Amino acid sequence: MGNIMRLTKSCFIVLAVIPFCSSKSGFIKDQGMNVVFPPLVKRHGSGIPEGHLRPLGHQRSPDGQVEQEMMLTPQEFYDMHVHRGEPVVFRKAIMDIPALTKWGQDDEDKYLNDKYGDLDVLVTVKKEVFKKGPKKMKLSQFLSDYMYENWYLSTTAPQQMMQELVLPKCLQCGTFRKYLQESELWMSSGGTTSMLHYHADHNLHCVVTGRKDFILIHPEHKETFEMVEHPAHSGHGYSKIDMDMVNVFKHPEITQVPWTYSTLKPGDCIYVPAGHLHQVRSYGRSISYTILWAPVPQFSASDCEGKPDRDIPLSEVTFTWAYFAGDKQLSNARLNSESLRHHLLALLRMDSALSYERWAAFYEEVMAQMDDFPDADEVFQILNSSDKSYLTRKELLEMEKSKLQKVANILNLPQGSSTIQEEPRPRDEL
């Protein structure tokens, strides 16, 4: 018995210290997708509040499903949902994309491994997204082990794989397309539950394989869930409360928070507005991709006139951030004054002023590959001749090109650098 206990303890230590090692120990993860959602709220007569120490959603019944639509034009999408900050589900929105058949075929991961196995991707241990950052590995290693390990893939979509994904028609032109920030690829063996979180950008999440359940909560309830902005000043945030075991005695106000829900199947997409709280649960072999775009004060569809009605592969689309050997970098290899102005206005989003703190977070992410680079405050002072710690929208719009070009030249320095100096930013499953 003593030998068994020592062996068990030893095995546990190894798994805890090197969770990214290839072990293939244990059994393949449960691929079942027959889950009751939304959950049935059971009322107790024992004085224990409904949903105590149960997952989020057991504390009260939902207020209904997220509204469903057929695919909309960009102008319709803006008028009916984006402008109002109202989520929407597009059923069967991407049924004709190559990935839907090729990535979900009978031999499962063989196609992906044969075609894309040499690509570097970022992989995270489930439920440790904000404790340990993602690790880089070959896609082939992830595909070999993810059915046995507690992993999920969360990476900026590689350019090579983008050719089999499309930009949904509601985003193909107008202001939306001009402010596209990033496309992210997600994959897991199922059984993942994200933290309750929100994003600074609008998000369209499309399912390729598997099933995903969404809980959505209006931003006005952020205080109830003790949301923390992470990273600081980024506009992204998550709840510190354990959403798998909600302590209703400690957080009784959660029982009063209204929520809506949706279940997505392959081909479905859901729009989650910027700032909207949401939790995602994945079942089965799950692959999805997201498209993020910056919220801006005005929308124009003036360039939509005469656009051909066709699917546009993501490989033909320009995003602010792009994939380079598993790392996230600015897609524009050589910024100029006007492209930098565009990036700063996107960073501003709906706010009237760009704070130094938000600028610094952006600057340090861009310069992360450099061993040595100018201080963020020093570069900010090139743009800001006064002592104030922000730049207004008017100042950015009217700023001299010479100032912007000086900063653009600094931001262009990392191009070609191969040394990564800091861990990738953690990503919670969207």
Confidence (pLDDT) at 104: 84
The H or E element containing residue 13 is helix 2-17
376-383 and 356-366 helices, crossing angle to 10°: 120
Confidence (pLDDT) at 385: 85
Q: Please give the span between the terminal C-alpha atoms of the chain, in angstroms, as a whole number.
A: 44
Confidence (pLDDT) at 150: 87
Position 313 in a domain = yes
Peptide bond into 38 cis (omega under 30): yes
For 248-264, write each residue's pLDDT tens digit.
999 999 999 999 999 99
Confidence (pLDDT) at 317: 96
pLDDT surpassing 90 at residue 181: yes
Answer with the one of 275, 303, 327 that is the final residue of a domain. Answer: 327
The H or E element containing residue 202 is strand 202-217
Confidence (pLDDT) at 285: 94
Range of the domain at 312: 68-327
Confidence (pLDDT) at 314: 97
* Cα separation, 102 vs 109, whole angstroms: 10
- Report the CATH number at residue 290: 2.60.120.650
Domain count, the chain: 2
pLDDT surpassing 80 at residue 4: no
DSSP label at residue 65: B
Which range, of 27-31, 68-72, 399-403, averages the lowest pLDDT? Answer: 27-31
Q: Higher pLDDT residue, 428 or 192?
A: 192
Q: DSSP letters along 277-292, please?
A: EEEEEEEEEEEEEEEE
Confidence (pLDDT) at 132: 62
* Cα separation, 117 vs 142, whole angstroms: 9
Which range, of 25-34, 239-248, 331-340, averages the lowest pLDDT? Answer: 25-34
- Report the CATH number at residue 346: 1.10.238
Position 44 in a domain = no
Q: Higher pLDDT residue, 387 or 378?
A: 378
Together in a domain, 78 and 102:
yes
Position 76 in a domain = yes
Beta bridge partners of 227: 239
DSSP label at residue 41: P
pLDDT surpassing 50 at residue 19: no
Mean residue pLDDT of the chain comes to 88
pLDDT surpassing 90 at residue 8: no
* Cα separation, 264 vs 211, whole angstroms: 6
Position 1 in a domain = no
Confidence (pLDDT) at 105: 72
Q: Higher pLDDT residue, 238 or 1?
A: 238
Position 83 in a domain = yes
The H or E element containing residue 161 is helix 159-162
What is the Cα Rg of the chain in Å?
22
Q: Residues 208-227: what's their mean pLDDT?
A: 97
Asked if residue 135 lies in contact with residue 123, where contact means CB atoms within 8 angstroms, the answer is yes
Q: Higher pLDDT residue, 235 or 186?
A: 186
Together in a domain, 315 and 359:
no
Together in a domain, 287 and 338:
no
For 88-132, write each residue's pLDDT tens digit.
999 999 999 999 999 987 677 999 999 999 999 999 987 655 456
Reported as a pLDDT band with limits 50, 70 and 90, residue 429 is: low
Q: Higher pLDDT residue, 159 or 32?
A: 159
Which range, of 78-82, 121-125, 165-169, 324-328, averages the lowest pLDDT? Answer: 324-328
Together in a domain, 272 and 226:
yes
Q: Higher pLDDT residue, 425 or 402?
A: 402
Structure tokens at 394: 């008017």
Reported as a pLDDT band with limits 50, 70 and 90, residue 13 is: very low
For 297-327, write each residue's pLDDT tens digit.
999 999 999 887 888 999 999 999 999 888 8
Confidence (pLDDT) at 234: 80
pLDDT surpassing 50 at residue 419: no
Position 35 in a domain = no
Answer with the one of 310, 327, 344 that is the final residue of a domain. Answer: 327
Three-class SS state of 205? strand
* Cα separation, 18 vs 20, whole angstroms: 5
Reported as a pLDDT band with limits 50, 70 and 90, residue 426 is: low
Together in a domain, 361 and 276:
no
Position 19 in a domain = no
Together in a domain, 116 and 245:
yes
Together in a domain, 261 and 387:
no
Together in a domain, 284 and 346:
no
| CA dihedral (303, 304, 310, 313) positive or negative | positive
Together in a domain, 314 and 338:
no
Three-class SS state of 188? strand
pLDDT surpassing 70 at residue 14: no
Position 28 in a domain = no
Residue 195, phi-psi category: left (phi > 0), alpha (psi -120 to 50), beta (remainder) = beta
Together in a domain, 349 and 323:
no
Residue 53, phi-psi category: left (phi > 0), alpha (psi -120 to 50), beta (remainder) = left
Q: Residue 113: what are its φ and ψ, rounded to 5°?
A: -65, -45
Q: Which residue from 142, 153, 129, 270 is spatially nearest to 212, judged by alpha carbons?
A: 270
Together in a domain, 188 and 250:
yes
Q: Which residue from 185, 137, 188 is spatially nearest to 161, judged by alpha carbons?
A: 185
Which range, of 136-145, 157-166, 320-329, averages the lowest pLDDT? Answer: 320-329
* Cα separation, 129 vs 133, whole angstroms: 6
Q: DSSP letters along 392-404, please?
A: EHHHHHH--HHHH
For 20-42, write each residue's pLDDT tens digit.
555 565 678 788 899 999 999 87
Together in a domain, 153 and 275:
yes
Answer with the one of 277, 312, 327 that is the final residue of a domain. Answer: 327
Q: pTM of the full predicted structure?
A: 0.89
* Cα separation, 119 vs 137, whole angstroms: 8
